[in-house]
């Protein structure tokens, strides 16, 4: 990759940190993101109300420790759909001043963000920590489908089957990188497919 290259619209993810002046805290995490949640609680156990939604995964399951660290307010969920449905219902009862923290894969974080957007929570109002994998969600600009968890430089679109490369562009609204057909100009000519986002 060329030196000095970066995707300028790509979000910068940081480590989760408590907003001390929040009125309540909502933490949503998946798989390896459980470690990010534990790091948060190692820093401090806030006075305000806390809700933690956690989805363990076969590869990483921190639920046992989390149950001990967050005895009340923790809810364990099995699938992403369950997390998002629970999040939706929890957000219905939330008041101004609530802070949202998200930890997990890029796919997961932006799925959560999309639900939060519906409640008027803007991107700047959510803290995100990328954990576990660099796999990317890719939006096919041709058929508008999003392919999740792409670990390679070029990926097959789950919607139309075209081979997509990522243009240097990320949309927070779609929660995905922009994918373009790689062989539109020379059909069938594909470069080597390599796993560079494990």
Partner 1 sequence: MALAFKQETFRNDYQYSNSPNAIKRFPFPFAEDQYMYSVNIEPHIKGKQGTVCEFPFDVDEHYVGECLDKQITLDLDRGRYKTLPHMMDAQWDFVELTMEALSNDYPEHFSLIKDGLNWTWENKPLNIKQSFVFGDASTMPMDPFEFMSRQVQGDFVLLDQRDETLYADGGFVTSQADWSLAFDVGMSWREWHAPVPRATELGVMDRALKYLLNLQLGSPVRRLNWTMTVNPRLDTSPENYPLWGTDRNTVNPENVADKVHLRVELQSLFRLPRSNAIVFSIRCYLMSLKELSSYPRWAKRLHRVQKTMHPDLIEYKGMTKFHPMMVEWLSKFDDGAAMDLGTHPE
Give the residues lining the site for partner 1 (CB under 8 A). Answer: 7-9, 124, 139, 141-142, 144, 162, 167-174, 178, 180-181, 184-187
Rounded to whole angstroms, the Cα distance separating 160 from 179 reads 12
Q: Which is nearer to partner 1, 70 or 164 (CB)?
A: 164
Q: Which is nearer to partner 1, 35 or 143 (CB)?
A: 143
Q: Which is nearer to partner 1, 44 or 184 (CB)?
A: 184
Structure tokens at 42: 């190692």
Beta carbon of residue 158, minimum distance to partner 1 (angstroms, whole number):
17
Write 50-53 long-range contacts (CB < 8 A, 24+): 50/24, 50/25, 50/26, 51/24, 51/25, 51/26, 51/27, 51/75, 51/90, 52/27, 52/28, 53/26, 53/27, 53/28, 53/29, 53/77, 53/83, 53/86, 53/87, 53/90
Beta carbon of residue 142, minimum distance to partner 1 (angstroms, whole number):
6
Q: Which is nearer to partner 1, 67 or 191 (CB)?
A: 191
Beta carbon of residue 136, minimum distance to partner 1 (angstroms, whole number):
15
Beta carbon of residue 155, minimum distance to partner 1 (angstroms, whole number):
16
């Amino acid at each position: 990759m060329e030196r000095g290259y970066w995707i300028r619209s790509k979000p910068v993810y940081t480590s989760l940190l408590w907003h001390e002046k929040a009125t309540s805290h909502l933490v949503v995490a998946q798989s390896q993101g459980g470690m990010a949640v534990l790091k948060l609680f190692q820093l401090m156990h806030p006075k305000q109300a806390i809700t933690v939604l956690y989805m363990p995964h076969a590869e990483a399951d921190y639920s046992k420790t989390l149950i001990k660290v967050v005895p009340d307010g923790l809810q364990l969920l099995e699938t992403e759909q369950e997390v998002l449905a629970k999040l939706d219902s929890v957000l219905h009862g939330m008041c101004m001043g609530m802070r949202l923290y998200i930890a997990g894969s890029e796919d997961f974080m932006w799925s959560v963000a999309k639900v939060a957007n519906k409640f008027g929570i803007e991107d700047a109002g959510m803290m995100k920590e990328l954990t576990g994998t660099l796999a990317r969600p890719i939006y096919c600009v041709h058929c508008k489908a999003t392919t999740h968890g792409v670990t390679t430089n070029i990926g097959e679109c789950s919607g139309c089957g075209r081979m997509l490369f990522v243009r240097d562009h990320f949309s927070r609204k779609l929660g995905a990188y922009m994918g373009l057909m790689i062989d539109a100009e020379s059909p069938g000519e594909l470069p080597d497919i390599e796993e560079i986002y494990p």
